[in-house]
Amino acid sequence: MSIKIALLGFGTVASGVPFLLKENSEKIVQAAHSEIEIAKVLVKDDAEKERLLAAGNHFNFVTTIDEIVNDNEVTIVVELMGRIEPAKTFITQALEAGKHVITANKDLLAVHGAELLEIAAKHKVALYYEAAVAGGIPILRTLVNSLASDKITRILGVVNGTSNFMMTKMVEEGWSYEAALAEAQRLGFAESDPTNDVDGIDAAYKMVILSQFAFGMTVKFEDVTHQGIRNITPEDVAVAQQLGYVVKLVGSIEETESGLAAEVTPTFLPKSHPLASVNGVMNAIFVDSIGIGESMYYGPGAGQKPTATSVVADIIRIVRRINEGTVGKAFNEFQRELVLAKPEDRKSPYYFSILAPDAKGQVLRLAEIFNTENVSFKQILQQGTDGNTARVVIITHAVNKTQLENVTRKLQATSDFKLLNTFKVLGE
């Protein structure tokens, strides 16, 4: 029996799918219990079709989604176009036509995932998206299957290769943010508009999806606090190293006493932490759980072959379920009511970088501001002076979000002090 699939788009990742189907055909057929055939490929227009054919791509290229959704022989639709529209419309049409769908579109899933999953359930078809979070790292299926018996308490993730490449340059070579961005763009790791990567938006989308699989709760994108790496300076990086930390853009999801807390923020990681050694464009997801304890899943978070590997794994799984007569079950069946953590239960140590007058008693004045919110110091460091001002660096003991906001507001309201940066610190 042969299962026919259709690809929506034929960019970098999509073109990796036929490569894997051919290269690993023997193993894939045995795993799927069927042969898998690419029946149609949707492209933008006739010009793109002609260009692809001229380049030696011998597929049945089509230019309208109707040619796929109305084809009864097409069983599985693989969306690898990216962006929210027209991907959402095309996926909806495919699901409503009774076709199973695979996508790597994290933006779409984070914003409209719940709606699309409802449509899939209504029409008793599958919607899988292993590649949406960490490219070639099989984290979603690991959470669903291998960790099904475990209770996860916290997830930490370095899940954006672009920002991690930039942070690696900033940490290891002392580059500025601007220099690191220029190099990432030159190498093709960053778009001309890098907003989604450097502002933590891409990572926040991935936290939305991970929250569903790890904790059974669907956190909305707007509930994931996100801060990017634009404001990180070489001075911040240097002091982090001096104090025994490495700076990374880290996504975190933690279940507190009152509920779930999810955020993406620059984070001071102890040099001994496994995530601190994740460099370049690589991704990693660190899991705290009551059964296993600590585990980490590491690998390429993007790229043609790694992402296509996860996509083809989804194809195999759906084909097997078709053959077993169990297709249509949800990718993730763990569901709980969403309860967000109270600000007072979201606790962590924090790093403060403050410009203060170079005069006696300034550290005491800072201590008084922090003491009013019952915030104590773990480490304090005064750096270089121009004779008029000095840079004071403070690492606090664990504080909650309410304390953090209050201290920040008081510092900003004090004319003598200039708050340069505030970052989360992993510790305690």
* Active-site residue identified among 40, 49, 106, 206: 206
In whole angstroms, give the CA distance from residue 86 to residue 83: 8
Identify residue 231 by its one-letter amino acid code.
N
Q: What are phi and psi of 302, to 5 degrees?
A: -155, -175
Residue 206 known to be catalytic: yes
Identify residue 193 by its one-letter amino acid code.
D
Q: Which two tokens stand for residue 384?
A: 């270089």
In whole angstroms, give the CA distance from residue 122 to residue 381: 59
Q: What are phi and psi of 150, to 5 degrees?
A: -100, 155
Which residues, in sequence order, are CB contacts of 72 under 8 Å at separation 6+?
none
In whole angstroms, give the CA distance from residue 206 to residue 285: 11
The catalytic residues are 206
